[in-house]
Amino acid sequence: MTDTSERTRRIEATAQKIEFSDITKIDEKDALQVLAIRNEAPIRNNMYTNHEISRDEHFNWIDRLRGREDIKFFAVRFDGEIVGGVSLSGINTVHKRADWAFYLSETTHGRGIGAALEYKVVSLAFDQFKIEKLNCEVISFNDRVVKLHEKFGFRIEGVRREHVIRDGQKFDAILLGITKQEWTAR
């Protein structure tokens, strides 16, 4: 077995242990677990809004998601435990495109969950949501995630220069995208 096929097999096996739960349909305890993960300092550092989110702000955001067709947010479960969140946003059924983002608890690092999550979300977007173009953007200092996206076939399509100000310093946002055709060819 080649290294590539072995890697693919491991990713697929790990992806089988990942489940998505619509955040508007989970109970309060699980919603609070998503909030706790979102508020982990390393996760906040890589988001556009890096303040600590209050309980009220979190539940108001969940309420605003109810009934929306253009954005879906899922709690990510691994072996039944909530370990992060993933969103599909800007879902456009006319142009068949969407944006996506994710975060995983620091407790998951080194276990292959990030790669498996990327595999599962991209498959979900193309297969179930009938998207033909999937986009994402990453703050430039988060090169680990840019490289992860590139490993899955995403291409850098542009840069939003000085897009984020963090502690008085300006950072670019890296724009990445993949088409269904590119994904299928992989």
Which domains can be identified in the chain, with CATH numbers? 3-133 (3.40.630.30)
Q: Are 98 and 135 in contact (CB under 8 A)?
A: yes
Do residues 82 and 35 lie in contact, with contact meaning Cβ atoms separated by under 8 Å?
A: no
Tell me the residue type at 22.
Answer: D
pTM of the model: 0.92
pLDDT digits (tens, 9 = 90+) for 64-78: 999 999 999 999 999
CB atoms inside a 10 Å sphere around CB 143: 11
C-alpha span between 170 and 84 (Å, rounded): 27
**Whether residue 90 has pLDDT greater than 70:** yes
Structure tokens given for 91: 């879902």
Quick one: pLDDT at residue 92?
A: 97
**Which of these, 70, 178, 82, 36, lies nearest to 121 by C-alpha position?**
178
Give the Å distances, CA to CA, from 163 to 22, 108, 174, 177. Answer: 30, 29, 9, 18
The answer for residues whose C-beta is within 8 angstroms of residue 60's C-beta and 6 or more apart is none
Q: How confident is the model at residue 85 (pLDDT cuts 50, 70, 90)?
A: very high
pLDDT at 1 over 50: no
Structure tokens at 133: 């173009």
pLDDT in tens, 31-75: 999 999 999 999 999 999 899 999 999 999 999 999 999 999 999
